[in-house]
């Protein structure tokens, strides 16, 4: 068995085991019953929230590519972005779609290094804004006792993103970490890190653009948190939006770890643990998170159509 096949099998087992223990605890019938009772109006609103975030996310990436000197239209960016979203939801990890984004963007612009660097920065902005939103959510509910364990985690995570941002744009500080990378990774990997760093480092001259992108990224993630909020409303769960601001970024960060199939199982289990702190029972929390996942899948289906059309055009071009 190849290393990739083994890695996939391990991820599959993690998702299956987590879902098995969760469903055995809450009951399959109970879980499906809650899903079937969802208010379709709020489900539709949640899907719209996801689509709004996608068009804003496309704009964020488009501005990054334009700054990088990549000649590409916003319309083409939207197409590639949706293809990436589709594979993020159906591939073996939440980062799988990034490979397709890099591939199609580099093919459209003939700038592979630019495609890689802009996707990396796009991801960085997304994760950092998620963490900021989580911190804001925590500040809005400071009196809750469970924040003593959650807020320190959020602050440490935010510090990590700030450190990473500083390393991107401070060459002298980044050089101090070079021996660590040499010790940790093979020379070929280190060389790729250096090449990527050089491209990303060029964005240090576009500070105003980066601030604008942070603002766009803030609303991208706010609308994506809204998906979970509307999923909760569809299941008649009435808790404040600030709790979703606090919990959903943590769930998203955990689900993005390459330990499961698209975050399946991890997302639902972490949702159960976190929302239990505000009185949401396990079955309802699991149903809410799974429903939010189904809403994102539905919203990313245009990416499947665009992917098939792109493949058809490529085949027609090859035949001609």
pLDDT for position 232: 94
Write the pLDDT tens digit of every residue in 7-31.
778 877 888 888 888 888 888 888 8
Residue of higher predicted confidence among 217 and 313: 217
Convert the pLDDT of each residue in 161-180 to its tens digit. 888 778 777 878 778 777 87
| pLDDT tens-digit map of 43-92 | 999 999 999 999 999 999 999 998 888 889 999 999 999 999 888 876 65
Mean pLDDT of the chain: 84
pLDDT > 70 fraction of the chain, expressed in percent and rounded: 92
Q: How far is Cα 129 from Cα 4, in angstroms, rounded to an integer?
A: 32
Domain boundaries, the chain: 38-311
Name all contacts of 236-245 with Cβ < 8 Å and 24+ positions apart. Answer: 236/39, 237/280, 237/284, 237/288, 239/275, 239/278, 239/279, 239/280, 240/141, 242/137, 242/140, 242/141, 243/137, 243/141, 243/275, 243/278, 244/137, 245/133, 245/134, 245/136, 245/137, 245/140
- Across 266-288, average pLDDT: 88
pLDDT at 319: 46
pLDDT at 320: 44
């Amino acid at each position: 068995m190849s290393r990739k096949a083994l890695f996939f099998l391990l991820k599959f087992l993690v998702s299956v085991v987590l879902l098995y223990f969760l469903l055995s605890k809450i009951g399959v019938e109970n879980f499906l019953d809650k899903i079937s009772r969802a208010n379709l109006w709020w489900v539709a609103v949640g899907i719209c929230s996801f689509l709004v975030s996608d068009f804003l996310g496309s704009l964020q990436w488009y501005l990054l590519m334009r700054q990088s000197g990549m000649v590409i239209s916003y319309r083409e960016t939207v197409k590639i972005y949706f293809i990436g979203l589709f594979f993020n939801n159906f591939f073996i990890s939440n980062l799988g779609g990034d490979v397709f984004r890099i591939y199609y963007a580099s093919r459209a612009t003939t700038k592979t290094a630019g495609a890689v660097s802009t996707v990396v920065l796009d991801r960085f902005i997304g994760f950092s804004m998620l963490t900021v939103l989580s911190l804001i959510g925590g500040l809005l509910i400071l009196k809750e006792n469970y924040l003593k364990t959650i807020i320190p985690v959020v602050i440490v995570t935010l510090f990590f993103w700030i450190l990473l941002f500083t390393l991107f744009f401070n060459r002298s500080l980044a050089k101090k970490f070079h021996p660590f990378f040499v010790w940790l990774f093979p020379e070929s990997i280190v060389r790729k890190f250096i090449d990527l760093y050089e491209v990303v480092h060029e964005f240090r001259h576009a500070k105003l653009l980066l601030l604008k992108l942070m603002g766009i990224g803030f609303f991208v993630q706010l609308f994506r948190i809204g998906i979970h909020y509307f999923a909760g409303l569809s299941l008649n769960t009435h808790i404040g939006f600030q709790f979703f601001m606090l919990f959903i970024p943590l769930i998203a960060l955990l689900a993005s770890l390459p330990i499961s199939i698209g975050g399946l199982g991890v997302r639902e289990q972490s949702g159960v643990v976190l929302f239990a702190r505000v009185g949401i029972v396990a079955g309802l929390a699991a149903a809410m998170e799974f429903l939010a996942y189904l809403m994102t899948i539905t919203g990313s289906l245009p990416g499947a159509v665009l992917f098939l059309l792109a493949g058809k055009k490529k085949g027609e071009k090859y035949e001609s």
